[in-house]
Structure 1
Amino acid sequence: MNHLAEKNAIVTGGTRGIGRAVSLALAECGAHVFAIYARSRKHAESLEKEASDRGLRITTIRGDLGHDETFTEVLRTLQNECAVVDILVHSAASGVHRKSMSLSDRHLKWTFEINFFAIHRLTRDLHENMKKGSRIIGITSPGGTRVIPDYAAVASTKGAMEALFRHYAKELAPEEITVNLVCPGLVMTDVAKNVPELGRLLEITETYTPSGRLTTPEDVAEVVKFLTTDAASQIVGQTIVVDGGKGLMA
């Protein structure tokens, strides 16, 4: 499938985990992917090499979107490189893992800067570069609607993100720009390794997931890829769960 030939895709958090899988999936469909990352040059170089070896077009851009100065630099680069933004995927996420009563204002502000405010700034400031048929896709989490141990800060940002995306979807639909969210189950990524009680969560997930396995980054990327097709043009403001059926279980 080459439905994204001559199109530009921006993927935040695009060099690791789910973001990396999304970057590769969209590039495989012909897109020129701009993968934004905050810190690890090693992961960026690895992605660049794989893309080069496979003849894919992926450009990595370093910049912490949670800081005003680097955000401005990244935005300027994107606006110079992308006259048209066909696809914007928000995959970058971070945050503090603590119980609610031990969260300081600083913890919450930092988590919201990355997981919420950076998303809105980037979407708002790139909106003028979008056109009929552009797609905005966010990666959310079950924590946006459920209680996960020590996840209050991140969960709050995901809930806020989901509310914001519903408004995006309604407001941008007349422009034929679709906005949707993808909600994976537990995915084994570098970020997931920092989750408290990970071993117990893995055991529960594997035991009670009807499909019998964990969700992979590639599972998520396939759904994101589908949302970029013409077949998904009537899907607006939805949260698509990719968890092997785990959410069905009581």
Structure 2
Amino acid sequence: MEEAPHIKNFAVVIGGSQGLGLATVRKLLIENIPVIAVHRDMRKDMEQITVDFASFSGGSTPFFAIHKDAIQEKGRLEILQEIKKILGHDGKIGLLVHSIARGNLKPMAANSQFPALSEADFKITGEAMAYNVYNWVSLLFRESLFSSNPKVIAFTSEGSSRVIPGYGAVAAAKASMEAIIRQIAVEFAPHGIRANCLQAGVTPTDSMKRIPGSAEILERTAKRNPSGRLTRPEDIANVVYLLSRPEAAWINGTILKVDGGESLC
């Protein structure tokens, strides 16, 4: 994320309080990249999030947290105003990471434990995990807040192309998000924007553990992965950092697997 000497490049992480997003925030700060973490968490999670964010705020690299809804238009516009204040006159966004994991995990056919997926479930999940990526890219582009060579990164999973029980709405959202990222990569390329997806291996995050049968999936995947372990949030964060570098400028519109070879087995 190289820029003119007087320009300070920030990373904006949408969904930066837990899981892959939190690991990404931590890695970027270690690498001296200023970060704005946007999140909207339930009250029960805020105690731990406050502890995590407090450890970032004491460092030498600027860190800002915005606790607002990044999905609805009203929330996006409120967040936009806060971002503008943080950037000031000499700040630009060199990296946008979309890490929202908000959706409905239900089967298509109702069972004794769960009702069936509804049309509303698909809409809510798609809005949060797919269409919202474009909404943010479009908004920041219109407001001229991107640097001259920004990177856009979104997280996908193997579930976008294979069946996982209870994952139907999320699978549809992930597949849509991948298509949106490809479209962004081509249509915004003349403006210097590079957009890619990272396909994370199975990672024991809180959102993963909410998937029906997750304990069995985690156990099976640890044995399946040729590296003999599950993917860690830090593995994904490391690749986010690699793609943020100027040397990665010719990687565009890809789905990059970050799984230690898991998808080969």
TM-score normalized with structure 1 length: 0.93
- Do the aligned residues in 2 keep the contact of 1:75 with 1:122 (CA within 8 Å)? no
Give the AA of the match of 2:13: V
Q: What SS does structure 2 have at the residue aligned with 1:136? A: strand
- Do the aligned residues in 1 keep the contact of 2:14 with 2:98 (CA within 8 Å)? yes
Written as runs of structure 1 = structure 2, the 5 A alignment for 1:101-120 is: 101=109, 102-120=116-134
Q: Which residue of 2 aligns with 1:164?
A: 180
Q: Which residue of 1 aligns with 2:94?
A: 86
Q: Which residue of 1 aligns with 2:136?
A: 122
Q: Percent identity?
A: 32
In the alignment, the residues of structure 1 paired with residue 178 and residue 36 of structure 2 have an alpha-carbon distance, to the nearest angstrom, of: 24
Give the aligned CA root-mean-square deviation in angstroms: 1.8
Instruction: Report whether the alignment pairs 1:59 with 2:64.
Output: yes
Unaligned runs of 5+ in 1: none
Query: How big is the shift at 1:244?
Result: 1.5
In the alignment, the residues of structure 1 paired with residue 188 and residue 164 of structure 2 have an alpha-carbon distance, to the nearest angstrom, of: 32
| Change in 2 beyond 3 A, CA 1:112/1:158 | same
Query: How big is the shift at 1:173?
Result: 1.7
Instruction: Report whether the alignment pairs 1:26 with 2:42.
Output: no
Give the AA of the match of 2:36: F
Query: How big is the shift at 1:191?
Result: 1.1
Give the AA of the match of 2:123: K
Alignment match of 2:74 (pick from 66, 69, 74): 69
Unaligned runs of 5+ in 2: 110-115
| Change in 2 beyond 3 A, CA 1:59/1:43 | farther
Query: How big is the shift at 1:185?
Result: 0.8
In the alignment, the residues of structure 1 paired with residue 48 and residue 62 of structure 2 have an alpha-carbon distance, to the nearest angstrom, of: 16
Render the CA deviation track for 1:45-92: whole Å, top value 9, x for unaligned.
122211134433221101122333222211222233234211100011
Written as runs of structure 1 = structure 2, the 5 A alignment for 1:172-187 is: 172-187=188-203
In the alignment, the residues of structure 2 paired with residue 173 and residue 114 of structure 1 have an alpha-carbon distance, to the nearest angstrom, of: 24
Give the AA of the match of 2:27: A
In the alignment, the residues of structure 1 paired with residue 39 and residue 48 of structure 2 have an alpha-carbon distance, to the nearest angstrom, of: 9
- Do the aligned residues in 2 keep the contact of 1:6 with 1:30 (CA within 8 Å)? no
Query: How big is the shift at 1:199?
Result: 1.3
- Do the aligned residues in 1 keep the contact of 2:9 with 2:147 (CA within 8 Å)? no
Render the CA deviation track for 1:32-56: whole Å, top value 9, x for unaligned.
1000111143243122211134433
Number of equivalent positions: 248
